[in-house]
Structure formats: structure tokens, C-alpha cells
Amino acid sequence: MADLTCPLCEMSEILDTDLHHECLTCGHEWDDAAADEVATVRVVKDAYGNVLADGDVVAMIKDLKLGGTSQVLKTGTKSRPIRLVDGDHEISCKMEGMAIALKAMYVKKVTA
């Protein structure tokens, strides 16, 4: 038997059939195509290399003019808890009462 582990419980007691694999421990079933796919975890880092997660609070590291307005987010402006999203702007948060999307390279993680 190949070195297969269950993607759910990571146990190695696997029953192989022609069409799929079945974990004898938890009963999870998956096909060969799903076993070949590698799950990638997206890591978002701030300007100083700190890993960001949902719920973190960040602060601006430079003044940033908001597109389409005359407002500027000043250095040191703190956010409400952030949410990581897919796309060019990795962070969705509220700053100064506005919902905005930010690139992680313009913020630093604030520790409590």
C-alpha cells in the first residue's frame, strides 16, 4: 500500500479500490484526483513580515490617499479587526468609520 493518509483525520489505515480511497478510521472517502490536489494555504504578511490572521488589528505605516476621495489615512491609524480576502487587496477592514480594502504592504500588525 502506498504512503496514503486520510486528508480528514491524517490516519494511515486506508482501503484502496480502483475508483477511490476510504479511511478505515473515520470513513472518509475520496477519489484519486482529489488525492493528487495539493491544498495551498495563503499566508498574508504585513510590511514587517508578521503573519496576519482574521481578527488582527493593523495600523498604517505611511500616509495613504484613498482613491476617489480627498481623504488620507494617516500613519498610525488603527483598524477594527480585519478580515483576509482573496484578490489584489488582501485586507478588508474598517478605519475611521469607512469600510476599505488594503494591501498588506502598507500596514503593520498591532500587538495588544
Cβ(59)–Cβ(106) below 8 Å: no
Domains and CATH numbers, the chain: 1-39 (2.20.25), 44-110 (2.30.30.40)
Q: Write out pLDDT tens, residues 37-58.
A: 544 567 899 999 999 999 999 9
With a cut of 70, say whether residue 26 has pLDDT above it: yes
Helix (H) or strand (E) holding 95: strand 91-95
pLDDT band of 2, cuts 50, 70, 90: low
Cell numbers 493518509 correspond to what residue? 5
